[in-house]
Amino acid sequence: MLILATSKIQSNYQTTIPKEIRKNYDIDNTTVVEWAINDKGNPEINFRKKRNFKNLSGAFKTDEKTNALELKRSLYK
Protein backbone atom coordinates (compact mmCIF):
# COMPACT_ATOMS: atom_id res chain seq x y z
CA MET A 1 0.00 0.00 0.00
CA LEU A 2 1.30 3.43 -0.97
CA ILE A 3 0.86 6.12 1.69
CA LEU A 4 0.60 9.58 0.14
CA ALA A 5 0.05 11.55 3.32
CA THR A 6 -1.00 11.26 6.94
CA SER A 7 -3.28 13.29 9.18
CA LYS A 8 -3.77 13.49 12.92
CA ILE A 9 -7.04 12.92 14.77
CA GLN A 10 -7.89 15.90 16.99
CA SER A 11 -9.36 15.59 20.49
CA ASN A 12 -12.90 16.02 19.11
CA TYR A 13 -12.25 13.23 16.53
CA GLN A 14 -11.92 15.63 13.59
CA THR A 15 -9.15 15.43 11.02
CA THR A 16 -8.01 17.35 7.97
CA ILE A 17 -7.90 15.65 4.60
CA PRO A 18 -4.32 16.16 3.39
CA LYS A 19 -3.74 18.51 0.46
CA GLU A 20 -2.37 15.70 -1.74
CA ILE A 21 -5.58 13.70 -1.30
CA ARG A 22 -7.85 16.74 -1.78
CA LYS A 23 -6.07 17.61 -5.01
CA ASN A 24 -5.97 14.03 -6.34
CA TYR A 25 -9.69 13.43 -5.72
CA ASP A 26 -10.96 16.97 -6.45
CA ILE A 27 -12.27 17.34 -2.89
CA ASP A 28 -13.88 20.63 -1.89
CA ASN A 29 -16.67 21.84 0.40
CA THR A 30 -19.26 20.09 -1.81
CA THR A 31 -17.68 16.67 -1.19
CA VAL A 32 -19.24 14.03 1.05
CA VAL A 33 -16.96 11.49 2.74
CA GLU A 34 -18.49 8.00 2.90
CA TRP A 35 -17.07 5.54 5.43
CA ALA A 36 -17.52 1.77 5.12
CA ILE A 37 -16.11 -1.49 6.43
CA ASN A 38 -15.24 -3.99 3.68
CA ASP A 39 -15.63 -7.79 3.76
CA LYS A 40 -12.17 -8.16 5.34
CA GLY A 41 -13.11 -5.80 8.17
CA ASN A 42 -10.93 -2.95 6.91
CA PRO A 43 -12.17 0.63 6.66
CA GLU A 44 -12.78 2.14 3.23
CA ILE A 45 -13.30 5.80 2.42
CA ASN A 46 -15.08 7.08 -0.68
CA PHE A 47 -15.62 10.62 -1.86
CA ARG A 48 -18.63 11.90 -3.79
CA LYS A 49 -20.18 15.26 -4.52
CA LYS A 50 -23.30 16.30 -2.60
CA ARG A 51 -26.52 15.53 -4.41
CA ASN A 52 -29.53 17.77 -4.46
CA PHE A 53 -32.81 17.79 -6.31
CA LYS A 54 -31.37 19.97 -9.06
CA ASN A 55 -28.60 17.41 -9.72
CA LEU A 56 -31.10 14.56 -9.91
CA SER A 57 -33.71 16.20 -12.15
CA GLY A 58 -33.87 14.35 -15.45
CA ALA A 59 -31.83 11.43 -14.13
CA PHE A 60 -34.82 9.07 -14.02
CA LYS A 61 -37.35 8.22 -16.70
CA THR A 62 -40.87 6.94 -16.30
CA ASP A 63 -43.75 6.11 -18.62
CA GLU A 64 -46.10 7.73 -16.14
CA LYS A 65 -47.32 11.25 -16.92
CA THR A 66 -46.02 13.68 -14.32
CA ASN A 67 -46.58 17.29 -13.47
CA ALA A 68 -43.57 19.02 -11.92
CA LEU A 69 -45.70 21.47 -9.95
CA GLU A 70 -47.83 18.70 -8.44
CA LEU A 71 -44.73 16.66 -7.59
CA LYS A 72 -43.17 19.64 -5.82
CA ARG A 73 -46.40 20.32 -3.90
CA SER A 74 -46.56 16.69 -2.78
CA LEU A 75 -43.13 17.04 -1.16
CA TYR A 76 -44.55 19.56 1.30
CA LYS A 77 -47.71 17.63 2.25
Domain boundaries of the chain, sorted by first residue: 15-52
At 22-69, the pLDDT tens digits run: 999 999 999 999 999 999 999 999 999 887 666 666 666 777 777 888
pLDDT tens digit string along 67-76? Answer: 888 888 888 8
The SS3 assignment for 46 reads: strand
- The pLDDT value recorded for residue 36 is 96
CB 37 within 8 A of CB 44: yes
Name the pTM for this structure. Answer: 0.57
Among the listed residues 41, 45, 40, the one whose alpha carbon sits nearest the alpha carbon of residue 22: 45
The CA distance from 19 to 38, in Å, is: 25
Q: Where are the beta strands (DSSP E) in the chain?
A: 31-37, 43-49
